[in-house]
Amino acid sequence: MFVFIFHKVSYASTCVCLSNKREFPTFSRTIPSDFFQAKAFAQLVKHFGWTWIGAIQADNEYGIFGVQSFTKEVVKYGVCIAFTENILSSYSRTALLQIIETMKRTAVKVILAFASERDLYPLMQEIVRQNITGIQWLASEDWVTAARPSTEEFFRSFGGTIGLTTRKMAIPKFKDFLLNIRPSLDSVNNLNNVFWEHIFGCTLRLKVESFQQNVSDTKICTGQERLDKIENAFFDVSQLRMTYNVHNAVYAVAHALHDLLFCEKEENKTIKLCGDIARIEPWQVTKQLKRVSFVNQFGEAVYFDENGDPPAAYDIINWQLNKGVVSHVTVGHFDTSPDGGSQLVVDEDSIVWSTGREVSTISDLNTIFKCS
């Protein structure tokens, strides 16, 4: 277990700052750095010809580094940043009103919000309260698929939002694994037990007996309940994004350890055990992880660049309203390649814009101002 203590392979940390190998020499990740997210947003802005953009950033490393990276990219395309405002969930309503006043004063029609759903939500509530519409929102991956604001009430102000999120993947046999979870009848403090009681709304007899509860007032779990009879989003394995990053992280470490432990016989090309796992040093794992390169079972390349970052792969998401339900519809994708190149693909015909209609001229969303 000491291996994991000394080298971290993250599946969720996206801050650009973590690519600094001088400060974080033993850090790698299987989720793209926000540098690539910012680059993808810049290419989207260029693609649609938008030239007057507002930016709202979380007042933390996630938001600040994200918007800084975005700004560096879009100025290359002659794009003007009308304003950059900070936001946190702890900000007062007075601060929120100041941000909205800036939005109105600049008459900006396109705004990038690089913040978590938690930090952005109070501002979103105020925007809905004031019935502010007609803004094309660009959503960072931390809020574009969030459930709380994805409602018909919020859609009037945020309908047509376009954002980025990491690629989703269905992992074969994972659902079978989940359906085979069983409670432990020998231990009270067991994660499977907590899950079981939550899913079925009951209490295991072992816990009742341990805490001397009144059995007559408690619904008792038998441990034989059927998970395959439960309708719960937990078992939907077709929309896995973060789980897919975890999957790649585990396999990356496994490949690194395999390469350290096994070698190939020259005479017959067979694989044999050459190392001792008890003697592996943390620095060896770090060094080997930098060399890891394989194609996973989904046909996607897994490797880390010199900064410990993986190739970037994002789905482009569009908020659309279908029968009163907000759907997060995939309308394109953005990918990077090992040579430093990138590809942006957008299905414009499938996008619903902030106006609630197809925008016949993309420049309809531009307000003509000169950069100061």
Quote the pLDDT of residue 3.
Answer: 42
Q: Percent of the chain at pLDDT above 90?
A: 57
- Every domain of the chain and the residues it spans: 34-167+311-350, 174-231, 238-303
Express each pLDDT in 205-249 by its tens digit.
766 555 555 556 678 888 888 998 888 777 777 777 888 899 999
CATH architecture of the domain with range 34-167+311-350: 3-Layer(aba) Sandwich (3.40)
Mean pLDDT of 197-211: 76
**CB distance 142 to 115 below 8 Å:** yes
Asked if pLDDT for residue 367 goes beyond 80, the answer is: no
**What is the average pLDDT value for the chain, to the nearest integer?**
87
Mean pLDDT of 324-346: 92
Mean pLDDT of 129-136: 95
Strands 293-295 and 301-303: antiparallel
HSE-up of residue 271 (Cα within 13 Å, Cβ side): 5
Quote the pLDDT of residue 216.
Answer: 61
**CB distance 76 to 105 below 8 Å:** no
Q: How confident is the model at residue 361 (pLDDT cuts 50, 70, 90)?
A: very low
**CB distance 37 to 65 below 8 Å:** no
Quote the pLDDT of residue 5.
Answer: 45
Of the ranges 29-43, 77-91, 112-126, 259-273, which one carries the lowest mean pLDDT score?
Answer: 259-273
Asked if pLDDT for residue 134 goes beyond 80, the answer is: yes
**CB distance 282 to 3 below 8 Å:** yes
pTM: predicted TM-score of the whole model, two decimal places: 0.82
Which three-class secondary structure state does DSSP give residue 198?
Answer: helix
